[in-house]
Amino acid sequence: MRRIREVLRLKWACGLGDRAVAASCSLSRSTVSKYVRRAKEAGLSWPLPDELPDEALERRLFPVEEAGPHFVPDWVELHRQLKRKGVTLRLIWEEYKEAHPDGFQYTQFCFHYRTWRETLDLPMRQEHKAGEKLFVDYCGQTMPITDGKTGEVRAAQIFVAVLGASNYTYVEACGSQSLPEWIMAHVHAFQYLGGVPALVIPDNLKAGVSVAHRYEPEVNRTYEAMAEHYGCAILPARVRKPKDKAKVEKGVQDVERRILAALRHRTFFSLAELNQAIDGLLLQYNERPFQKLPGSRRSLFEQLDKPALLPLPEHPYEYAEWKKARVNIDYHVAVEGNYYSVPYQLVNQTLDVRITITAVECLHKNKRVASHLRLQRQGQYATLVAHMPKSHQDYAEWTPERLVRWAEKTGPETVRVVEAILRSRPHPQQGFRACLGLMRLGKEHGFERLEAACTRALATKAIGFQSIESILKRGLDKLPLPQETAEKPPIDHDNIRGPEYYR
């Protein structure tokens, strides 16, 4: 409701100027001037008549033209056309005026359209361009999955994606809200739609947004990489601003009522079984006719969103995680217990590492510097000859010879262990870490104890950093070495035949 009465009171009763009235009522000066001018033209003065309520006052100052003599547009079709990219209300009015010169003027045209639009539900009233936005979130409600062997029940999370223009919906049950499940649900949603929207609007859940912020939210690196692969952008909703994602809020509510509630009496033993049941109900849900508009979500999707979606890339996104790793002096980075080489010039640099199911990629300043097949067993090395320097003295003082010289200061048994470690690797540099670890143990426990621990490791043939570390932690280096048992003489007895019997 316009604040006409308050404007007239401040202007006529209080004697305020237009600027002061505008500031008090949070209106523009031109609006204040227009209200006062129209009130004078209507013959009004202060105080206003008691029998003039706000609605009647507004009608008196802003009389509505009767729609009778004018051609009334198809507001449903007009509303649908406005969802197309680049289409504005003024453009539609200009086309309407060309076809019907005696039709509504622009102001009345807009007024009648907005009056009709108020009869729609809030999510339908919001104006979204075709193919522009996909709203995504998880339902608050979960679905139970029962383990057929143990009877254990776990909760399946329900992912929901809703297109802005058509309300076309995708639903998928996921094992959790973890990052891999979140990413793959998006991949499946794009495949279901047969295209990609320009914007994806998520809530601020941790899997999608690393740091929630009203103005500069920080999107998860993997989530960002997925969006880059599909050519779309991530625009997180503002924190505690449900209107930013009203589409998916309403979509979540409808999915809980139309799909999850319908499955409440069924028992599911796997995610695949639950998703199969959801697919059948989702098909019915998208084809269900609208109550206040002609057509359904599917028909509107086929007409509006589908032609405007970006094409799918040739290959679906391959899930990858990102981490930062520092290059050690042996020009390898440690990734999940394995070691991958990079160019030796990057020693002591911090790299971005992209980890997929099959590969490990290392990037420096967004440029890929190394790529390896992912190793499956921990403790392995992946070393490319091209990453090795021609002379290690060019980039660092550490060499196998220097490590041996250091070991000589501790004792001969430590030398034997260092040499054995270096010989056991395809490249001696791959043993640098273990040798440096021995140096640390010497400083921590003392070099005499380290020499004793190496002696025991050689005696027990347990040569390795972890074995020697365990010996020192358990104090086994302080115990006497196990002695080899002397060979016992053969037993001489009448009942024992001896080896001569069998010759």
Residue 247 has what pLDDT?
A: 64
Residues 205/136, Cβ–Cβ less than 8 Å: no
- C-alpha to C-alpha distance for 326 and 229, rounded to whole angstroms: 27
pLDDT at 346: 92
Residues 6+ away with beta carbon under 8 Å from 480: none
What backbone phi and psi angles, to 5 degrees, belong to 458? -70, -40
What is the predicted pLDDT for the residue at 87? 76
Cα 353 to Cα 326: distance, rounded to the nearest angstrom: 10
**Average pLDDT per run of 10 along the chain, which is 503 residues long?**
78 86 83 87 84 79 59 78 76 84 83 75 58 88 90 92 89 90 92 92 70 55 86 76 63 87 90 93 90 82 90 89 88 91 91 89 91 87 82 54 83 88 75 82 88 88 86 87 62 68 61
Q: What is the pLDDT of residue 487?
A: 56
The answer to whether 145 touches 268, Cβ cutoff 8 Å, is yes
Write down the pLDDT at residue 257: 86
CA distances to 131, 161, 253, 490 from 197, in Å: 5, 11, 22, 87
CA–CA separation, 99 and 302 (whole Å): 28
What's the pLDDT at 394?
41
| Gap between the Cα atoms of 410 and 414, Å rounded | 6
Phi, psi angles (nearest 5°) of residue 118: -65, -15
Contact by Cβ (8 Å): 46, 8: yes
The pLDDT value recorded for residue 481 is 79
Cβ neighbourhood burial of 224 (10 Å; 0-12, 13-18, 19+):
middle
- For residue 162 the two structure tokens come to 């809703």
CA distance 213 to 204: 9
Superfamily of domain 133-308: Ribonuclease H-like superfamily/Ribonuclease H (3.30.420.10)
Q: What does each C-alpha distance from 445 to 403, 442, 452 come to in angstroms?
A: 19, 5, 11
What does the pLDDT read at residue 191?
A: 94
- pTM of the complete model beyond 0.85: no
Query: Residue ranges per domain, the chain?
Result: 4-61, 75-119, 133-308, 320-392, 398-478
Contacts of 444 (CB under 8 A, 6+ apart): none
What angle is formed at CA 331 by the lines to CA 329 and CA 337, rounded to 5 degrees? 95
Whether the bond between 289 and the residue before it is cis, its omega within 30 degrees of 0, is no
Closest by CA to 201, choosing from 140, 138, 134, is 134
CB 287 within 8 A of CB 298: yes
Q: How many CA atoms lie within 13 A of 114 on its CB side?
A: 7
